[in-house]
Amino acid sequence: MDPRQLEYFLAVVEHGGVNRAATALHVAQPSLSQSLRRLEKDIQAQLFHRVGRGLVLSSAGEALIGPARQVLRDIELAREAVSAVEHLQGGRIDIAALSDTSTDPLSVWVAQFRVKNPLVQLRVEERDRIGEIVDLVKGGACELGITVLPVHVNDLSHDFLVDQHFVVVFPPGTPTDLPDTVEVSSLDGVPFVMGERNTTSRDHVESMLRAGGVEPLVAVEVPQRGAVVPMVLSGAGAAILPQRVALEARQRGAVVRDLSPHVSWSIGAIHRSDRLTPAAAAFLDYTHQQLASWERAVVRRMAAGASRVDASAEVVAAIERRQRVLFDEIGPIYPAGPAER
């Protein structure tokens, strides 16, 4: 049984005969008759009684009308859903994210994409280890995985997105005459606030400090990464954080400096090698565009003499100003202005 057979069957019912149905459908009468015979063979029931040169519905035919119409409606709904996704008028993206990347930078990417494509739904699942991200993507639970690269899995595709920079964040009141770039070796004996053990970012930071000859002095260990910045702002210790998170702390009075040797890691997307859905492909394309624009803006300011931290802070401020203007014109939640609501 296929949808065309059901369509022909309903046409015969609605037009009261094979000839009139064939004319309405612009098909040859023998082809339509042959399709009906195949349908009867498939369902092993006679759909019409042949009375003279006409057709009368059998009880089996009467019973098939409702289900046939529902099947064709479901197919049409499926076509509409696919069309909507193809034009980004709908769809859903399931993303598995390393916990250390979900707040920064993924949260920004997701928000920017959703403002641009408000009818696309996104779901983010967090995991602490790269292997868990790989499992979610390989198993099909998530279409994309945002993680630290490289990931050595042969049957997954890798898409580099950005090098995430790490900086050191000191509490408010720290002398601001520190150099723009702090030597890692000078952090020996500095108390640190760190996230919980056995996570990718904690391992990365500790190995970086040890490579610089510094044994980390962990003054406070917190399981919730969101508690690190409030701890630093309250004077519990310093922290080594992704640059964008650090810039938010700087707006609240923290002192932020780059590190030497430079500290970063590569973040990218992994996905199964088969074709991405249009929504997921659009998400990656848009994220690439935004990141390229960001990097160009930072490089321009650094060429003018700004440190990477200062240049990045200026770019963030410029983006937020443009965003406020945009949201004043068209709010992302309530598009109409207050006077129109």
**For the chain, what is the largest distance between any 2 Cα atoms, rounded to a whole number of angstroms?**
103
Res 155: pLDDT: 86
Res 164: pLDDT: 93
* pLDDT one-digit tens code per residue, 11-28: 999 898 899 999 999 999
Q: From first to last of the 341 residues of the chain, give the pLDDT tens digit.
A: 789 999 999 999 989 889 999 999 999 999 999 999 999 999 999 999 888 777 889 999 999 998 888 888 888 777 767 776 667 777 889 999 998 888 889 999 999 999 999 989 999 999 988 999 999 998 888 999 999 999 988 889 999 999 999 999 999 999 888 999 999 999 999 999 998 888 888 899 999 999 999 999 999 999 888 899 999 999 999 999 999 999 999 999 999 999 999 999 999 999 988 778 888 989 999 999 999 999 999 999 999 999 999 999 999 999 999 999 988 888 888 765 544 44
How far, in Å, are 32, 57, 143, 271, 336 from residue 136 at the CA level?
48, 52, 8, 10, 39
Nearest to 270 by CA among 165, 176, 127, 149: 149
* 92-163+266-329 shares the fold of 3-86: no
Residue 258, SS3 per DSSP: strand
Query: How would DSSP label each residue in 107-171?
Result: HHHHHHHHHH-TT-EEEEEEESSHHHHHHHHHTTS-SEEEEESP---TTEEEEEEEEEEEEEEE-
Residue 337, SS3 per DSSP: coil
Distance CA 223, CA 295 (A): 32
Spell out the residues 6+ positions from residue 66 whose beta carbon is closer than 8 angstroms to its own.
none
Res 85: pLDDT: 67
The domain 3-86 is placed in CATH, from the list 3.40.50.2300, 1.20.810.10, 1.10.10.10, 3.30.300.30, at 1.10.10.10
Domain boundary assignment for the chain: 3-86, 92-163+266-329, 165-265
**Omega within 30 of 0 (cis) for the link into 105:** yes
Residue 277, SS3 per DSSP: coil
**Omega within 30 of 0 (cis) for the link into 191:** no
* Residue 275, token pair as written in the block: 């074709």
How many other C-beta atoms are found inside a 10 Å radius of the C-beta of residue 287? 22
Which CATH architecture fits 92-163+266-329?
A: 3-Layer(aba) Sandwich (3.40)
Distance CA 4, CA 106 (A): 45
Domain 165-265 carries which CATH code?
3.40.190.290
